A and B are shown apart, each in its own frame.
Chain A
Amino acid sequence: GQSLEQPSEVTAVEGAIVQINCTYQTSGFYGLSWYQQHDGGAPTFLSYNALDGLEETGRFSSFLSRSDSYGYLLLQELQMKDSASYFCAVMDNYGQNFVFGPGTRLSVLP
């Protein structure tokens, strides 16, 4: 079986730091990706972790612990435009089946 879990909603204020967690259980694992999706828009790639540790891309960082089947997306210096849904995703089944988590809706308040 395959399942990913994320918090359904997170709220934070502008300028703050927020962490969105993702735990996964999949058959085969080829890395954890994060996508951002604004209402009515398409998913947009944010980051990818294949190995344990922290990957930093500007205000966004992503972390992976393969032994814990756990990762997180860290958003710093939050801006209003960061209000969106964030999905973690795992490439399952020997790299052919891409499974998305349920998504976390981030609301950034002024």
Chain B
Amino acid sequence: EPEVTQTPSHQVTQMGQEVILRCVPISNHLYFYWYRQILGQKVEFLVSFYNNEISEKSEIFDDQFSVERPDGSNFTLKIRSTKLEDSAMYFCASSLQGSTDTQYFGPGTRLTVL
């Protein structure tokens, strides 16, 4: 069964450094998402992406964040200058049709900012 994959599984970085989290969505899916989950808290929407552009972003997704689909398979989330409060699990998800369609989540990348 096709699945969403994410790398790395765990990323440790120093405050102020840039990190890039990578995702490979399910191959025929057209809608891509990033979420984060701070330990013990709920899942929070960051951004949705369709047709090579951002469809919607939350208040969390400020100028420090950017997303990119650099090729036909990868979907990346970049945090330019990490802060301590960026420490969280970051989930990528994809769906075939968007909006009401089922979103399939990747296993997540645990980001630790020191």
Q: Give the B-binding residues of A (Cβ under 8 A).
A: 30-31, 33, 35, 37, 41-45, 48, 50, 87, 89, 91, 93, 95-103
Contacts and interface: CB of A to CB of B under 8 A. Distances in A.
A93 B105 contact: no
A96 B56 contact: yes
11 contacts: A30-B100, A31-B100, A42-B91, A45-B102, A48-B100, A89-B43, A96-B99, A100-B35, A100-B42, A100-B43, A100-B44
Chain B, interface size category, equals 20 to 34
A96 B47 CA distance: 9
B99 A43 contact: no
B94 to A, nearest CB: 12
B43 A87 contact: yes
A87 B42 contact: yes
A97 B31 CA distance: 12
